[in-house]
Structure 1
Amino acid sequence: MFDVDVVAGMSDVEVLDLLRELEREQAVRDAVKVRALARMAELRPDRDGGGHRFAGAEVGVELRWTPGHAACQVARAARLVALFPSTVDALAAARIDLARAHALAEITETLSDEHAGELEAWILARAEGKTIEGWRQALRAKKDRVDPEGARRRREQRRRERRVGLYAAEDGMACFDVYDTGERLRAVYLMVDKVARAMRAEGASEPLDALRADALYDMVVNGGGRGVSVELQVAVPYTVLLGADVPGTLAGYGSISSAAVAELVAAEGTAWRRVVTDPAGKVLEVSARRHPGADLARHIRLRDQVCRFPGCHRQAAACELDHTVPHSRGGSTSADNLGCLCPLHHKLKDQPGWRLRQTRPGLFVWTTPGGRTHDVGQDPLVDYEIPAPRQGEKSLDPAPF
């Protein structure tokens, strides 16, 4: 048993090492827990196909979990042990944590067992250094490439599940939950954000999050859209221009299927801007649809996508453009000295002991007060793989324009 009193005398390096060790120990214990829950599913088979309710009920009573939560935990554990033994082994070896294992089980629910296994092998080979959000984004982006023929079917299956929910919170508050397609909800968010910022410009003093809530209520209940319009930015590889049927990336959301891209193209009244990239994800061209402007700020936000602090996924649109080498010290206002940082990490950069370098455009290296370094690279704007040409077909990978 660890002596908790020892923590009070630890240095920063010792505290960080302890936290890493505790995470490893937790992963090992979680692997045992997953196997135990899966074993309960075997011992209490739910013969009417209700989704492990019998095992869940017994586990829930023992651990004081709600029936729904218990059934969900048993079902996920049974799926992991049956379909993803390598993932459970990786959890037992502390290469991943339980959240990543659960994400794999959840995101592959609409894939065949064969395609799910292919996705598992792919992500486990790239497990190192990914935050849980990065892990999820990578899985979503790869999913449609593993089974492109099923992308439209899966999209329709999920779209039929769209819903709105209301959940009580503390002190008279509530949570309004909407489950819908990424492009529709991204458009809703951009709309309320733009109205909220207009309210701020008019003198409202509340935080932007609160103003967004006010804007949403006003728009839904009172129709107070204020005539605001927004655009969606959709990045696609240049092979789309040659007829390829491949996924794209919706700025502020992540990977979307080729079916979703096609629907956006065909949709009336939807303002969107096409961003074309090369195979490495570098921006080649921004379409001139609605307010063209290939200025430096847009280039940096498209390049960085999110805050450039390790593990932060604050969208670039909500970040500040930071001079890596401060302008006051001779830093240039150029692509190799600008980056997106959210307000918190913009301030953190200037705190004692912290150091940030941009070793090449888009590649940032942070040094902590304890002397540890963390690289933050530039993820491709569109993460896709060039399909091998069929016999008699020309390659879809000519020299970039």
Structure 2
Amino acid sequence: MSSNQTMNVEALDNAPVLGLVEGIVALRQQAAQVHAAEVRLLAGAGQLAASRSAVLRSDSREREMHLRSIAAELALAVRASDRTVQRQINDAVVLAEDFTPVLEALEAGRIFVGHARVIVDAGTPIQCPEARLAFASEAVSRAENLSPSRLRPAVEALAERLQPRTVTERHRDARADRAVTVTDRADGMGELTYVGPATLVHGIYDRLTQQARAVRNAAAQPGASFGPAAVAASTDTAPTGGAGAETSDCTPELTPDPRTIDQLRADIFADMLLTSAPQDDPTIAADPSLGFGGLGAIRAIVHVTVPALSLAGLSDDPAELVGRAPIDIDTARSLAGRASGWDRVLSDPVTGGILAVDRYTPSADLKRFLRARDEHCRFPGCRQPVHRCDIDHGQDWALGGTTCAHNLHHLCRRHHTLKHATPWQVRNLGGGVLEWTSPTGQIYIDHPPSRIRFTPTGPPPPF
């Protein structure tokens, strides 16, 4: 750079930049203070529930009902899931009671929300209250001069030094938290998360990578055949003696597989989970009546609702993975073609409300009607699909309630127990519309999801 250019740069007015920096810092500090205020309120909700539960002399499930009821009240007021709000209450109690220096630093605007999350994540495994408070104070002082990404390794090392138990001892306890969870994503996608020992996680990922590369290499070779033999021949588990794929002069040359390594890993992962059986399958020996396959014979249940016109190819309206998310119509048509039976749902052409459900082989007509009408748990905001729900009487059977569509609806086990163990009340207004009354007297209306989804947009169907 020439001297003239250097002088021009130095002569620039930095006041606008400084103004932007000061404005952003002030907003971030305000956001931290607002977050801290919300944490205080949520922690207060948790403390209120704990004080009400402390007087009970019953099992932990009944004691939790006060927290569930308060979480449901807050969730409906802010249009969120009560499970999410309950988790936020629990997190707020931990932050307010076990990481007091962190919450005070947030209120003062000395650290930001990202710093607080990093500190709490690193310090949660510390069980000793005194050690946790000492950790929080030291972590806050470091956070004042570091970004969250640079703070994380520093506070993780600090937390490790304060742990009274070794990593090996803590790992034995952490294994009890292994789990598989599902998160719905946009555009008909979903996310499957496995939490387990790091050695298994990396081993699974490495094996998927090796198999993905083997598939890609096999596809790039002229005359190569696909399948288990081609994959096995390219991995370290291939049988001795060169058991490769047979070729012939008439075998056409194959084009390279267009999938990326990530896509191949995902496809192989899904194929293995959906088609294979566990190595150790105790169900065959324990129950011979299961027949061939045991756990390997179990198949996933997928409940999909498809508009009839879309199924016939006359419309591109999306289908729905019931209780979860929309899915593309091509996938829905493929599933429908392999289905052993269909439920035909007849809806009102104006309101879209369910009129009747029938099937070629009749069985449990009322249950099928309720499944088609409700699709998921009918507590406001809950999306638990009906095959994981109970059928609940709005008016108890013991109190004269009838077993009919007007008095029945689906509730997941969480909200079923909430209805019976707390003052929450529900009333059917007709047409499957439910009126929920909270313990504080707030009214929430829940409409059956099918009222809108089946409203016709094209010509009337030919039946």
TM-score, reference length from structure 2: 0.40
Normalised by the size of structure 1, how large is the TM-score? Answer: 0.46
Whose helix proportion is higher, 1 or 2? Answer: 2
